[in-house]
Amino acid sequence: MDMKKISIAIIVIAALMSVVLAAEKKESPKAAAPKAATPKAAAPAPASGATSTTFSVFGSLAGAFIFTFFGYYLQLKTYFVLKSSKSYLDSYYLKIKLQPYQTKSESHNPSAKWLISSLQSGASAICQSASSKMTTSVERAQYSDRVPIRSIILRPDGGSGLAGQQARVGGWVKTGRKADKDAFAFLELNDGSCAGNLQIIVEADKGDLGQLVLTGTCLQVDGVLKLPPDGKKQKVELQVEKVIHVGVVDASKYPLPKTRLPLELLRDYVHLRARTNTMGAVARIRDELSYATKRFFHERGFRYVNTPNITTSDCEGAGEMFQVTTLISEAEKSEKNLIKNPPPSEVDVESAKLIIKQRGNDVAQLKSAKASKQEIGAAVAELQKAKENVLKMEERSKLQPGIPQKDGKIDYSQDFFARQAFLTVSGQLQLESYACALSTVYTFGPTFRAEKSHTSRHLAEFWMVEPEMAFAELEHDMDCAEDYVKFMCQWLLDHCMEDMEFFADKIDKSCIDRITMSAKTPFARITYTEAVELLTEAVKNGKKFENHVEWGIDLASEHERYLTEVKFQKPVIVYNYPKEIKAFYMRLNDDSKTVAAMDVLVPKVGELIGGSQREERYDVVLSRMKEMGLPIEPYEWYLDLRRYGTVKHCGFGLGFERMVQFATGLDNIKDCMPFPRSAGRADL
Ligand code: 4AD
Ligand code: MG
């Protein structure tokens, strides 16, 4: 049983006991007297309050038992964690484990708040006393001799407990300066394991200080950790004993100076920008959110399914797909080949045919002259060769430059997959086939959209998290989406505070408040019709939108952001959209005008999630496809899912980079992706 469950159990038991006691007091008029309502008053049992006394005694005993048990459990857990630990660092992990309780103690329930905070302070005390007794030693990275900087400076003591320890560290110099008439240099070293740097001190006899202080220089050094002089902000620094490796930098050419470059400019150096504070933090946040995603779905019984990147069906039917073909490269190749090695002319073919004739005559003559078997065999082989040569020549004479055509159209039967194929815009359709077998599944992979929109929210290649659930309807879909977003927000608060504080400091002051609010506040839920009413009302009250508002429009980003940022000031789920603006697979509602679609809108970003209940009725989905002019043949397999063993099901897609944008507050989605691709640009 985990600690969370235990604390919940305690709260539930305490709540039950108070309910029972309250009921008891109601039954007995004397026990209901104001004084008897307090625990103290319950102790001297009044004659008619025998049952109440029994409960109070029972309550105290049960309470004592629970607290003892919990205290024992906590100590035991601490003991085992510390016993199995190799270093002081584990006590830090233990402290991290307790963090969720701290957040919960902000609950409005005073008894839960009191209970959790006392448990927490007890746990911290145990943690502190245990860690103070521990022998201190540095933590090596598992597959390297280096000590990750994170494991030094992110300890609760900032690394001071490691003073005196030998450590080998590696990283890239963020800033450096020489001091004391060039007798030594101070360097800020970062290895990407965390946002913070380790200060290292190198004396002049250990290396070329002029080189070492340059931003971007890679260093690996051995040294001793020591306490810095009082008044310094860092808790520990490394006195270098030996420089092991230097990856030099030519400062006149290195494009990333120590001063901050605008993010837009950094996009010209996607291969180097991971070394900047911002992109390093984005990379760690992405990793944490990926891990949180896997945890969220795995722990709820969803199976991870790998849907194809190359597909022959257009999921969204929006015609924004990148085509996958070898026809163009093949055409280029054959054009080059034809120039080098032109096809045979008709005359060449005719003369090759004459050779066949001659060889045939040779065979006939040898046979009539009763030549040896060997001689005849050799002549037959020559004849065969001549025939094969003509076949090849005829084949080559048909070769034409350019892309193969048939009946005036491109002949895709000659393409790599013998049909038209594309990069996927969503794994949903294929995922549905697994949901209709494994019930709850999800996929998390790259998706591609040939959208030419140059907005701060669109990429041509982005990652999408898509769950799909059978035996579930729109309400379940919205619940899952809300829980998932909340889970990720809480994860960031519990595991990424160092990086989140960086974003709050440098990029968007409100980012921590935004994710804290999103983790704790129930999302608003409104129908599309209500959303349009609210927007119309806003227009009446003087709000100016660039895009006209009326029932039937596809909500623009400005509308979405007004709803979530101004009207509700929290995430909003809009559902039941007009069928005309949504995809063919969404379930038609009884009004025949709207479909069971839902979008999750969040501040800063607008649409974060798009999802729906799927149309599981064969006839309805078929007529929707026809209505929308979709070709039926490529979707026959999809219709099979409705022909055989159909089931109500639903799902959604979360744009992963938009989630990163929501969390970090970065203005442009291109900075939320390591190697962004957008119209006109695909570096590396
Ligand atoms: O709303 P969308 O188009 O939904 C689907 O693709 C569904 N098939 C998903 C499903 O139900 N399984 O896209 C889902 C999300 C959007 O809400 C948005 O966050 C993100 O994907 N998205 C983009 N992110 C970055 N760049 C783009 N060009 C995006 N297009 C959509
Ligand atoms: Mg959408």
Report whether pLDDT(323) > 90.
yes
Mean pLDDT of 383-391: 94
Sign of CA dihedral 506, 509, 512, 515: negative
Report whether pLDDT(664) > 90.
yes
| Cβ of 606 less than 6 Å from ligand 1 | no
Closest residue by Cα to atom 25, ligand 1, is 458
Q: What is the pLDDT of residue 100?
A: 41
Name every residue whose Cβ is closer than 8 Å to that of residue 603 and which is 6 or more positions away in sequence.
514, 561, 564, 565, 569, 570, 571, 662
**Beta strand residue intervals within 522-587, DSSP E:** 524-527, 572-578
Closest residue by Cα to atom 31, ligand 1, is 655
Sign of CA dihedral 622, 623, 626, 628: negative
| Cβ of 560 less than 6 Å from ligand 1 | no
| Cβ of 449 less than 6 Å from ligand 1 | yes
Report whether pLDDT(211) > 60.
yes
Residue 101 near residue 119 (C-beta atoms within 8 A) = yes
317: left (phi over 0), alpha (psi -120 to 50) or beta: left
Poorest-confidence range of 96-100, 392-396, 513-517, 523-527?
A: 96-100
Mean pLDDT of 239-253: 96
Q: Which of 587, 583, 589, 521 is nearest to 554 (CA)?
A: 583
- Which numbered atom of ligand 1 lies nearest the CA of 658? 19
Residue 602 near residue 608 (C-beta atoms within 8 A) = yes
Mean pLDDT of the chain: 85
> Strand 409-410 vs strand 681-682: parallel, antiparallel, or unpaired?
unpaired
Q: Which two tokens stand for residue 550?
A: 């009326």
pLDDT tens string 96-113 = 444 443 444 444 444 445
| Cβ of 655 less than 6 Å from ligand 1 | yes
From the CA of 624, how far away is ligand 2's center (Å)? Answer: 18
Q: What is the pLDDT of residue 12?
A: 57
| Cβ of 458 less than 6 Å from ligand 1 | yes
Q: What is the pLDDT of residue 399?
A: 80
Mean pLDDT of 4-9: 54
Residue 215 near residue 228 (C-beta atoms within 8 A) = no
Identify which ligand lies nearest to the alpha carbon of 429.
Answer: 1
Mean pLDDT of 367-377: 92
- Which numbered atom of ligand 1 lies nearest the CA of 460? 28
Q: Which of 560, 557, 552, 608 is nearest to 581 (CA)?
A: 552
Poorest-confidence range of 21-30, 184-193, 320-329?
A: 21-30
Percent of the chain beyond pLDDT 70?
80
Hey, which of 455, 464, 577, 669 would you mutate to test ligand 1's pocket, going by the most ligand atoms within 8 Å of its Cβ? 464
Q: Which of 11, 21, 243 is nearest to 117 (CA)?
A: 11
- Residue 391 and residue 642: Cα distance in Å, rounded? 49
Q: What is the pLDDT of residue 307?
A: 98
| Cβ of 307 less than 6 Å from ligand 1 | no
Q: Class for domain 287-319+422-672, per CATH?
A: alpha beta
Q: What is the pLDDT of residue 124?
A: 52
Distance of CA 222 to the CA centre of its chain: 36
Q: What is the pLDDT of residue 127?
A: 47
pLDDT tens string 39-97 = 333 333 333 344 444 444 455 445 545 544 554 454 444 434 443 333 333 334 344 44
Mean pLDDT of 409-420: 95
- Which numbered atom of ligand 1 lies nearest the CA of 429? 8
Q: What is the pLDDT of residue 658?
A: 98
Q: Which residue has the tokens 């049983």?
A: 1
From the CA of 472, how far away is ligand 1's center (Å)? Answer: 21
Q: What is the pLDDT of residue 337?
A: 86
Q: Is 353 helix (H, G, I), strand (E, B) or coil?
A: helix
From the CA of 642, how far away is ligand 2's center (Å)? Answer: 24
Q: Which of 655, 528, 681 is nearest to 602 (CA)?
A: 655
Q: What is the pLDDT of residue 233?
A: 82
| Cβ of 451 less than 6 Å from ligand 1 | yes
Report whether pLDDT(119) > 60.
no
Report whether pLDDT(38) > 50.
no
Mean pLDDT of 213-239: 94
pLDDT tens string 159-177 = 999 999 999 999 999 999 9
Identify which ligand lies nearest to the alpha carbon of 447.
Answer: 1
Burial call 428-458: b when 16+ CB within 10 Å, e when fewer? bbbbbbbbbeebbbbbbbebbbeeeeeeebb
Provide the H-helix boundaries in 369-466.
Answer: 373-397, 428-438
Report whether pLDDT(506) > 50.
yes
- Residue 504 and residue 497: Cα distance in Å, rounded? 10
From the CA of 322, how far away is ligand 2's center (Å)? Answer: 18
Mean pLDDT of 331-356: 89
Residue 478 near residue 340 (C-beta atoms within 8 A) = no
Which CA distances in Å does 312 have to 418, 433, 586, 637?
Answer: 11, 15, 20, 11
At residue 182 the predicted structure's pLDDT band, cuts being 50, 70 and 90, is very high
- Between 2 and 552, residue with greater pLDDT: 552
Q: What is the pLDDT of residue 232?
A: 80
Q: What is the pLDDT of residue 35?
A: 33
Closest residue by Cα to atom 29, ligand 1, is 458
Closest residue by Cα to atom 7, ligand 1, is 653
Q: Class for domain 150-259, per CATH?
A: mainly beta
HEC string of 34-77?
HHHHCHHHHCCCCHHHHHHHHHHHHHHHHHHHHHHHHHHHHHHH
- Which numbered atom of ligand 1 lies nearest the CA of 611? 11
- Residue 588 and residue 590: Cα distance in Å, rounded? 7
